[in-house]
Amino acid sequence: MKPNPLFNGLYVPLVTPFTNDLRLAPDALARLADEALSAGASGLVALGTTAESATLTAEEKQTVVRICSAACRAHGAPLIVGVGTNDTAAAIKSLRELAATGDVAAALVPAPPYIRPGEAGTLAHFTALAEHGGLPLIVYDIPYRTGQTLSADAIDALGRLPGIVGIKHATGAIDATTMELLGCPPPGFAVLGGDDVVISPLVAAGAHGGIVASANVRTADYAELISLWHLGSAAPARKLGAELARLSAALFAEPNPTVIKGVLHAQDRIPSPAVRMPLLAASTSTVRRAALLANSRVRHASTTDRRCSRWPSRSSGTWRWPLWSGAPARGFAGPTVRRHTLTAAW
């Protein structure tokens, strides 16, 4: 029988920063990785959907994994790497290559997308990966991307395989299957929320943590939210959860990770908001709205003040909004949490 879950707390699926001409920005990625872990994330996820992994070259993927591995080693944190393919043999090959590096704690693997092999085929797929891939697996249950839903019985069967250690639950609903899973997960099987807007009620209902794209911004707050629920501090958890749900809704108002990248760029944490096609950059108004929510919570007394002026001021004046993040902005040393200032036109 497997012991208690290996994975709990907050895992941040990092964006992949690009330059304006769409080249990988490795230094910016290294900073984001260090900031997330310094702000309280339990670990990182590389090459997830948020990383635009489908548009990265093989060489770029290796660079991303190498950078994230170095950050996780420095912080003593686990690295999870996304492996998404509907070819079982190719997935096994990718898993073996990752396992050979010795730096990857687990792979995040969706049900085979698009071809919809059915529940029996999906179970056979994951069984083969668990037996031959050489890495612990976290099943990524996201039916609105894969085209098929995993039943409670299928999840239970997967959770009892020795090589499968958890699930990222991103079904778009908290339904009977969700509650059955949270009420009695297989031994040693981590249930990690994957729908950002409802991460608070998922953890309240028993999820061990979450893989939360929104935590690219306000990392410390998302880590605190999960900790509050685990400590049984319901009142502050509900209040913070409602606030972060509004932020997550704003960050997903356009296709992920376009708005997140826009906000990170406004905070001067990545060199460009650029995304690769078929994604298009988020609109200025959407990014502005999300940026204000991303930076609206006062957490501590100011230690550093920095003005950010991505948005043009109007002749009637500008508003300076306190901008907080769970990690330092580029170029600052000192305490993890610090104050900046967002100058935005209203």
What six digits make up the tokens of 122? 């999906």
91 and 133 in contact (C-beta within 8 Å)?
yes
Catalytic residue flag (residue 2): no
Where does the chain show beta strands of DSSP type E? 9-13, 43-46, 79-82, 106-110, 137-141, 164-169, 190-193, 209-211, 307-308, 319-325, 338-344
The SS3 call for residue 135 is coil
Instruction: Write down the catalytic residue from 11, 61, 140, 222.
Output: 140
The backbone region for 268, taken as left when phi is positive above 0, alpha when psi lies in -120 to 50, beta otherwise, is: left
244 and 222 in contact (C-beta within 8 Å)?
yes
**CA 193 to CA 206: how far, in whole Å?**
10
Catalytic residue flag (residue 114): no
**CA 4 to CA 190: how far, in whole Å?**
8
Instruction: Write down the catalytic residue from 11, 61, 168, 222.
Output: 168
Cis ω before 257 (30° cut-off from 0): yes
Which DSSP string corresponds to 124-167? HHHHHHHHHS-S-EEEEE-HHHHS----HHHHHHHHTSTTEEEE
Give the number of residues written for the chain: 346
Q: What positions carry a catalytic annotation?
A: 140, 168
